[in-house]
Structure 1
Amino acid sequence: MGILNATAADPRELIEKHREALTEGETVSYVYKTIRDYIAFTNWRVLYINVQGITGSKREFLTVPYRSITAFAIETAGTFDLDAEIKIYLSGHEPIEFRVGRNDDMRGLQTFLAQKLDR
C-alpha cells in the first residue's frame, strides 16, 4: 500500500457509510479519510476501507488486529511541513503509511496506539 493523503474525519461518517464493516460493540476512536477510503482505529483493530471502481460499489476491507502490529512511527509536522506521517508496521507485510494534516491529533493517536500495543 502506498502513502495515502488523509484528513481526520468524524467517526459518525464512517459508521453511517460502512456500518456493515463494524461488529457489535466495536467503537471507533480515530478516523482518517482520503477522497473515498477510510482508515479507522477502533477498540479492537485498525480497519482500512478501500473503495474501488468508478461507482464505488466495490470495496475492500482490510482488518489489522492490534496484535499483528509490530511497530508504529508517527512523524509530526515541522515548521514548514504541511502534514504529519503515520507508519504502521505489520509482521510479514509492507507498512500502512498515510499522511494527515498538521493540526490533526497526533499525540492522541500515538497514545492510543501505544496503549493498544502494550497489551
Structure 2
Amino acid sequence: MFNFSNSVFKLRSISESDVIKDIRTFMLPDENIVSAFQSGRDQVVFTDKRIIALDVKGITGSRKEFSTLPYSKIVHFTVQTPGFLEFNNDSELVVAYPNGALIQFEFSGGNVNILEIAQIISRYVL
C-alpha cells in the first residue's frame, strides 16, 4: 500500500498509450488523462478529476493496488517549475490533504507541463 503521508514520488513522463489498461478501467467514463508518469513498475496518472496511483506488487506484478487522490480534497499545493537553461530541468508538485499528509511529486525532464496540472488542481481547490 502506498504510504502517502510525507511521500516522495520520483517520476518520468510516459505517453498516454503506455498507461496500463487497468488504470483506464479504474477511471470514470467522463474522466480524461492529463499526464502520465512512471517510477519503476508503478504509475501515477493525473486526470482532469484526480491523481490515480498504481502500485505493482510482487515478483510477477500480477497483484496491483490502486489509490486515488481527489483534487477536491487538496487543502493547498505548491509547484516548482524548471529554470531557463538550467542543468537540472526537473519540476515538482507538493499537495497537502486535511489529514496532514504531504505528497511530493518530482518530475524528471523538461517535458512535463506542471502548470497545466496546477491549473486543473486549482479548479477544484479554489
TM-score by length of 1: 0.83
Structure 2 regions of 5+ residues with no counterpart?
Answer: none
How far 1:82 moved relative to its partner? 4.2
Match for residue 108 of structure 1 among 106, 116, 119: 116
Q: Structure with the greater relative contact order (CA < 8 A, sep ≥ 6): 1 or 2?
A: 2
1:6 is paired with a residue whose SS is strand
2:29 is paired with a residue whose SS is coil
Q: Percent identity?
A: 24
Tell me the matched-pair count.
118
Contact 1:66 1:116 in 2 (8 A): yes
Question: Does residue 95 of the first structure (1) align with residue 114 of the second (2)?
Answer: no
Superposition misfits of 4+ residues, deviation over 3 angstroms: none
Partners of 1:67 and 1:53 lie apart in 2 by: 32
TM-score by length of 2: 0.79
Closer/same/farther in 2, CA of residues 93 and 40 from structure 1, 3 Å limit: farther
Q: Deviations over 1:43-64 (max 9, x none)?
A: 2221111111111112111111
Structure 1 regions of 5+ residues with no counterpart?
Answer: none
Contact 1:36 1:51 in 2 (8 A): yes
Question: Does residue 12 of the first structure (1) align with residue 3 of the second (2)?
Answer: no
Partner of 2:80: 75
